[in-house]
Amino acid sequence: MQENHTTPCIHCPTCGKPVACSAQEKWKPFCCERCKLIDLGDWLDEKQRIPGGHVSPDHDGIE
């Protein structure tokens, strides 16, 4: 008896869609290029948020 070769073994970190083990390695662990780019974009966005930048949360006299 042959196993179903489309049995999902991982889930896409971006959309949560099941990704088959036999899926294209290109986008793994993502289900597609779009999800990979979305995740990469989020990651880059996080990296670009530098703490202690030009944002002054304690700037008084504004209100």
**Residues that bind Zn ion in the complex, under the rule CB under 5 A:** 12, 14-15, 17, 31, 35
Q: Nearer Cβ to Zn ion, position 45 or 63?
A: 45
Q: Nearer Cβ to Zn ion, position 12 or 23?
A: 12
Structural tokens at position 8: 């999902």
Burial of 11 (0-12, 13-18, 19+ CB in 10 A): middle
Q: How far apart are CA 16 and CA 12, in angstroms?
A: 5
The distance of closest approach from Cβ of residue 10 to Zn ion in the complex, given in angstroms and rounded to an integer, is 11
The distance of closest approach from Cβ of residue 17 to Zn ion in the complex, given in angstroms and rounded to an integer, is 5
